[in-house]
Amino acid sequence: MTKKDQDLINRIANGARAGRISRRDFMSYSAAAGLATAGATSLWTSSAKAAPQAGGTFRWGVHDGNTGDTHDPGSYLTRTMIFLAHTHRSYLTMINGDNTLGPDLAESWEASADASEWTFRLNPNATFHLAGRPVVADDVIASLNHHRGEGTTSSAAPLVADVVDITKVDDHTVKVTLSGGNADFPWIMTAYQFAICPANEDGSIDWQSGDGSGPYKIDSGEFGVQFALSRHDGWHGEGAWFDKVELITLNDANARQTALVTGDVDAISQIDLKTMALMGRDPNLQLFNVPSGAAITLPMLTDTAPFDNVDVRNALKLSIDRDEMIEKIMFGAATKGNDFHHSPAQPYWPDDIPQREYDPDQAKALLKKAGAEGLTVNLSTADSVTSGAVDMAVLYAEHAKAAGITINVVREPSDGYYSDVWLKKPWCLVSWGSRPTPDMMYTLAYKSDAAWNESRWQNERFNELLLQGKGELDDSVRAEIYREMAILARDDGGTVIPFFNNFVYGARANVGTPENLAASWENDGARAASRWWFTG
């Protein structure tokens, strides 16, 4: 091996150690440098990700926080609180780096044959920071009941609406009874609202104290400003390499990115797409571009003319140039949508459904069939929906011109958009956060009687399949069910889904990360504090 090759291999090994190179890239670079596969494999395991180091203070800039935030899990709203919750509290289950389901507080769980009874066995090593006692069944029961029952103000109430009863089997075992089968119930338990808090005597929870059983405990903090945390010794999970974590709310994109460039913070949760390319050139930084389940949707009210005609709906779906939209609005940081709300980052994604492309001629033909040539429709949007939301609607209007469709872009006030425009105006632009499974997404926004059925779409077969898939524990049967549902939504549904937006975030070059980054939230599923480390 020449000196040059050795230099190259050292560089690659350093890159691997710093987490900048994936295993696959590492192998191909090593082969290019003349290293045999066996040698490369052992170099990978010895130098790379294998050995995270402990220590340091992780300063973490988060893009969304408000001085009106609260520790009440039912009222979590901002990213800062969601990230904080994943850092100082625990959940029954968690989404792993590779987007599979893994244990958090519950070390194991099992379902009855019809998936309507779930038993969770708690990890006996889990303890609360302030209360200083183990996490027991009563805490889990109280924490879940916080989102149930009359008069709950929790935003997670719909997620546990089908829970009939939660009982204690023994101190470390909880049984949840559902009104029907739900194979996704352990996935639902990863929702950010289901943080486990210590129970009070009366069965309510003590959320006010900010106590939790997560990897880090809160030392001090001010809502909308920053939180200082230190490692919770004896945490029940694996990881938590940093000694201390500082979670800093940095709402202003410019301030946030400058702070990362100057080294005032070690990682940030969002990078402005417009400056993504510039940031990527800085050798002191690493950027992450992670496909997610978050989507931009354009629901048409399918019970309102002209959207009550499926040909009109499909004509509109054919009149959008998704590639140009991703390139111009998202600067490439998005995954192409196919008009069904199921992203490649979610389980059971059907990869064999033909992609719907931009085809104004076919759209014209469909409109002619529907007797709606020269169609004029209004599209409501507001800047607050997503960055570039108005530009996106204007671009769509340009694309649709080729099909003879006039789209009037209506700019609505950002304030109260989700109470006055969404679910009310016949066609609008909506931003959806990521849901871990297709069932959760479809149940939330596509089921015929869902409160948020944003297109008011009624399809008997779809709803039948949804119910069937919910209680099905066999993975291959489920995959087939979700495939058929995707085709129904794509060809009959009322929602245009141009793309799933990627999470784009960044860190200093000396931050080490695992090979796979969870796609549930930014910064490795909001768990960067317990999964990342400093490489030096």
Q: Identify whether the C-beta of residue 500 lies closer than 8 Å to the C-beta of residue 338.
A: no
Q: For the chain, count helices (H), then strands (E).
A: 18, 21
Total binding residues for other proteins by CB under 8 A?
45
Q: In this complex, which beta carbon is closest to other proteins, that of residue 331 or of residue 452? A: 452
Residue 514 binds to other proteins (criterion: CB under 8 A): no
| Cα separations in angstroms, 20 against 12, 144, 226, 455 | 9, 39, 28, 42
Subset of residues 402 to 431 that bind other proteins, contact rule: CB under 8 A: 413, 415-416, 418-420, 422
Q: What does the angle CA 499 – CA 309 – CA 344 come to, to the nearest 5 degrees?
A: 20
| Assigned token pair, 86 | 């994943």
Residue 152 binds to other proteins (criterion: CB under 8 A): yes
Smallest gap from residue 255 Cβ to other proteins (A) = 5
Q: Give Cβ neighbours of residue 387 (< 8 Å, ≥ 6 apart).
A: 272, 273
Looking at 13, 35, 111, 259, which residue binds other proteins (CB under 8 A)?
Answer: 259
For residue 294, what is the enclosing H or E element? none
Looking at 200, 208, 406, 408, which residue binds other proteins (CB under 8 A)?
Answer: 208
Q: Would you give the DSSP letter of residue 159? A: G
Looking at 10, 46, 108, 153, which residue binds other proteins (CB under 8 A)?
Answer: 153
Residue 509 binds to other proteins (criterion: CB under 8 A): no
Residue 261 binds to other proteins (criterion: CB under 8 A): yes
Q: Could you give the CA distance from residue 439 to residue 423 in angstroms, rounded to a whole number?
A: 21
User: Which of 15, 12, 53 shows the shortest CA–CA distance to 534?
Assistant: 53
Residue 252 binds to other proteins (criterion: CB under 8 A): yes
Q: Is the backbone of residue 515 left (phi > 0), alpha (psi -120 to 50) or beta?
A: alpha
Q: Identify whether the C-beta of residue 269 lies closer than 8 Å to the C-beta of residue 63.
A: yes
Q: In this complex, which beta carbon is closest to other proteins, that of residue 258 or of residue 378? A: 258
Q: Could you give the CA distance from residue 167 to residue 175 in angstroms, rounded to a whole number?
A: 5
Q: In this complex, which beta carbon is closest to other proteins, that of residue 125 or of residue 153? A: 153
| Residue 66 Cα to chain centre, angstroms | 20
Sole window of 174-182, 222-230, 320-328, 356-364 interacting with other proteins (rule: CB under 8 A): 222-230
Smallest gap from residue 249 Cβ to other proteins (A) = 8
Q: Give Cβ neighbours of residue 200 (< 8 Å, ≥ 6 apart).
A: 142, 206
Sole window of 108-116, 151-159, 490-498, 505-513 interacting with other proteins (rule: CB under 8 A): 151-159
Residue 510 binds to other proteins (criterion: CB under 8 A): no
Q: Identify whether the C-beta of residue 404 lies closer than 8 Å to the C-beta of residue 319.
A: no
Residue 154 binds to other proteins (criterion: CB under 8 A): yes
Q: In this complex, which beta carbon is closest to other proteins, that of residue 154 or of residue 190? A: 154
Smallest gap from residue 503 Cβ to other proteins (A) = 18
Subset of residues 52 to 91 that bind other proteins, contact rule: CB under 8 A: 66-68, 70-72, 75, 77
Q: In this complex, which beta carbon is closest to other proteins, that of residue 9 or of residue 156? A: 156
Looking at 250, 377, 405, 526, which residue binds other proteins (CB under 8 A)?
Answer: 250
Phi, psi dihedrals of residue 143, rounded to the nearest 5°: -65, -35
Smallest gap from residue 412 Cβ to other proteins (A) = 10
Residue 224 binds to other proteins (criterion: CB under 8 A): yes
Terminal CA-CA length for the chain? 29
Smallest gap from residue 179 Cβ to other proteins (A) = 17
Strand partners, 220: 228
Residue 251 binds to other proteins (criterion: CB under 8 A): yes
Residue 495 binds to other proteins (criterion: CB under 8 A): no
How many other C-beta atoms can be found within 10 angstroms of the C-beta atom of residue 296?
24
Q: Could you give the CA distance from residue 319 to residue 306 in angstroms, rounded to a whole number?
A: 16
| Assigned token pair, 52 | 């995270």
Interface pattern 427-456 for other proteins (x via CB under 8 A): ------------------------xx----
> Which residues of this chain interact with other proteins, rule CB under 8 A?
66-68, 70-72, 75, 77, 151-158, 208, 220, 222, 224-226, 228, 248-252, 254-255, 258-259, 261-262, 264-265, 413, 415-416, 418-420, 422, 451-452
